[in-house]
Amino acid sequence: MPLPLSRPSPLDGAFNFRDLGGLPAAGGYRIRHGRLHRSDTLQALSAADVGYLRQAVGLRTVIDLRLAPEVAEEGRGPLGRHGDIRYFNLPLGMASAEGLAPDEILTALYLSCLAPGSALPRALERVAEHADEPLVFHCAAGKDRTGLLAAVILRLLRVGEAEILADYQATAANMPRIIERFGGWPRYRDHIASMPAAVYAADAPSFLRFLAALDETYGGAEGWARANGVADETVARLRAALLEPA
């Protein structure tokens, strides 16, 4: 069954955090609970949040998809003080939206992440490398960069399109709080002011065009991964770590 569109975060300081465990995959499998998490920025976690992630989740790896200037300006947050949690910054840049119509922007941004030179393949490799222990990947809002990495991972795990779309759209319920908070952070406040409102929506047509490009241009997520230097062994490792019988 597709995920519900509203999935409350267990964290006070990250509004879009969720475990992807339980999603059904082809062949009678499902994603293991407690291994694969996605989130918005972790820079504002509370002490209770840190305790939850370290003790209840057992978090061992953070994969940060924000650009280097974002990380420098906004910071890693309190998890950065814990050296037992691995941290990787793999900036996932997107194409310029200048000159595009509002309803074209997200599609252009999303498709640019499939192009050669994108950090998406390297982020996928990091996930596969550390998926045998609890990890989280995140960007700022946890919608676009995080959503695309989640989609590629879920496609490689053979999760159905309806479930992948539902997970992407689950972010919609969290965006009002995220946008409100961004209003107090100058970097993101200024970006919101410069962009059409549609850019901060979880837009299903744009996301579906991204999924369609995986199939039409590359013959699926596996074909895209191979074309971008991701070894078949990496995909096999991802599946071995994250799938279990349903």
Q: Which residues are catalytic?
A: 139
The answer to whether 58 and 37 have CB atoms below 8 angstroms apart is no
For 172, residues 6+ apart whose C-beta sits below 8 A from its C-beta are: 5, 201, 202
Q: CA-based Rg of the chain, rounded to a whole angstrom? A: 17
Tokens matching residue 163 = 């479930």
Tokens matching residue 240 = 């071995």
Question: Exposure string (b/e) for 206-221, b if CB count within 10 Å is 16 or more?
Answer: bbbbbbeebeeebeeb
**DSSP type of residue 62:** E
Distance (Å, rounded) from C-alpha 218 to C-alpha 161?
16
| Long-range interactions of 99-102: CB distance < 8 A, separation 24+ | 102/196, 102/198, 102/199
